[in-house]
Amino acid sequence: MSVPQLTPRQPSVWWGAMIICGTVVGAGMFTLPVVMAGSWFGWGVLLLFISWGAMLLSGLLFMRVSLHYTAGAGYDTLVRDLLGRGWARLNGLSILFVLGILTYAYISASGPVYQHSLNQLGLPLTAAGAKIALTLLVAGVVLLGTRGVSRLMTFCVVAKIALLIMLFGGLLMQVDSASLLQPAPEGSAYWPYALGVLPFCLASFGYHGNITGLVSYYHRDRRRIARALLLGTLMSLALYLFWIVSTMGNLPRSAFPGIVAQGGDIAALMAALGSHLQVPALTLMLSLFSHFAVIASFLGVTAGLFDYIADRMGQGDTRRARVKTALLTFLPPLLASIVWPHGFVAAIGYAGLFATLWAVAIPALLALRAEKRFATHKKSSLAITLVLLFGGLNIVAWLLSWMEWLPRFGGG
């Protein structure tokens, strides 16, 4: 019996997984051990696994719905056809807000970092010039389509993994398991802090804007798309676990209030970890890691935003149409980042709530309606119920946190 061979036009599952992993794992991973410090390791890992499972389920539900439509049909087309114009408008606003804010945040936050690096190389660019250069680079790759994004994403993800191992591999050799598994101090408990961690875990697995692109990329091959989603999210989960064990296993829980007091950012966390790292040229490797993390997430987020705008505008896939879509995708966030370089701080807090809508609730509702519309034989009632419960719990957590009814560990 002859073994069927892959044709050159059938992309490997690896490329799609790289898009998912590169989109999911970005510079935001540095915040996970900080926000999990109150609930500590056990609860943090449990919530991370729950979020991974729920977000994978919602992605698979959305993929199943997408396969009922022609290749190229995007988020807006599906929601408008199955849920109506009202839901389409609400979903569109949530997607544009979340992806637009993230694009704005990546440009704003990474501009000064790239300016510093380019200045050290002898290129005297201003912060605005660095933002423009970075945006043009990413826009050029996104214009090439999913193939171009996947290639650069693969390079960034492999570089991130290699640098992460070099940076923190030594920490795994000296992890204090007793510290990771230590019971809560007498008179206190970990669980009251757990609910507030959930929205951050949800945001750590946001990739749904890339699914319609993968449907076209894999020519509607259900198995390849599903495997790409599974492999990409599993790789992301593994990287998160690697990072959480490395940090929480070397820093006692009592060290995190001080990190929070200093802003809870990368610099504060790295300063606390500094005495535990045994790697030369740490500053250079950390800078390189941050660069690759930003580029990968920036690519993934803007590719999803590009696909949504292209579908919403309905302008086709010509070169002129893609350039117009790219301008709508990149120009407003770029201008906003130059005019208001720090304005995203207030708005970013609302991104998690809107992400719950379009990455959790909407896929479940689409799957529910699609089962009735297309009379599919395979029912997903349990998966839909679990995803909706997860979304509802995240909304409750966000609201309680917004009203400051949840405890904050070391946050004052």
Q: Is the separation of the CB atoms in 409 and 188 below 8 Å? A: no
Mean pLDDT is lowest, of 2-11, 191-200, 326-335, for: 2-11
Report whether pLDDT(206) > 80.
yes
Distance CA 403, CA 159 (A): 40
State the pLDDT at residue 412. 41
Q: Is the separation of the CB atoms in 397 and 196 below 8 Å? A: yes
Q: Could you give the count of Cα atoms lying within 13 Å of 94 in the half-sphere of its Cβ?
A: 22
State the pLDDT at residue 293. 73
Q: Output the CA–CA distances (angstroms, integers) from residue 54 to 91, 206, 245, in the order listed.
A: 19, 11, 22
Q: Is the separation of the CB atoms in 352 and 394 below 8 Å? A: yes
Distance CA 359, CA 61 (A): 11
pLDDT-based confidence at residue 228 (cuts at 50, 70, 90): very high
Distance CA 49, CA 404 (A): 26
Q: Is the separation of the CB atoms in 291 and 114 below 8 Å? A: yes
Q: Is the separation of the CB atoms in 402 and 199 below 8 Å? A: no
State the pLDDT at residue 54. 96
Backbone φ and ψ of 345, nearest 5°: -60, -45
Q: Report which of residues 66 and 314 the model is more confident about.
A: 66
Distance CA 66, CA 59 (A): 10
Segment 326-383, tens digit of pLDDT: 899 999 989 988 888 766 555 666 777 788 988 899 999 999 999 888 876 566 789 9
The vertex-340 CA angle with 336 and 344, nearest 5°, equals 85
Tokens of 63: 């993929």
Segment 126-162, tens digit of pLDDT: 878 888 888 898 888 888 776 777 777 778 778 877 8
One-letter amino acid identity for 331?
L
Would you call 170 exposed, middle or buried from its count of C-beta atoms within 10 A (0-12, 13-18, 19+)? Answer: middle
Mean pLDDT of the region 108-117 = 71
Q: Is the separation of the CB atoms in 68 and 294 below 8 Å? A: no
Sign of torsion, CA 190 195 199 201? positive
Q: Is the separation of the CB atoms in 297 and 18 below 8 Å? A: no
Distance CA 259, CA 135 (A): 31
Distance CA 180, CA 42 (A): 8
Residues in the chain: 412
Of 280, 289, 251, nearest to 268 by C-alpha is: 251
What percent of the chain has a predicted confidence (pLDDT) above 70? 84
Segment 163-186, tens digit of pLDDT: 777 766 666 777 778 888 888 887
Distance CA 400, CA 394 (A): 10
Highest mean pLDDT among 212-226, 253-267, 346-360: 212-226
Highest mean pLDDT among 53-62, 112-121, 172-181: 53-62
pLDDT-based confidence at residue 2 (cuts at 50, 70, 90): very low
Distance CA 251, CA 83 (A): 48
Report whether pLDDT(187) > 80.
no
Neighbours of 166 (CB within 10 A): 16
Mean pLDDT in the chain? 81
Q: Report which of residues 385 and 3 the model is more confident about.
A: 385
Report whether pLDDT(97) > 60.
yes
One-letter amino acid identity for 231?
L
Q: How far apart are the first and last CA of the chain?
A: 69
pLDDT-based confidence at residue 6 (cuts at 50, 70, 90): very low
State the pLDDT at residue 5. 47
What percent of the chain has a predicted confidence (pLDDT) above 90? 24
Highest mean pLDDT among 47-61, 196-210, 249-263: 47-61
Cα radius of gyration (the chain): 21
Tokens of 71: 């290749």
Neighbours of 385 (CB within 10 A): 12
Distance CA 72, CA 312 (A): 11
Of 78, 107, 86, 88, nearest to 338 by C-alpha is: 107
pLDDT-based confidence at residue 109 (cuts at 50, 70, 90): low
Tokens of 299: 């690519």
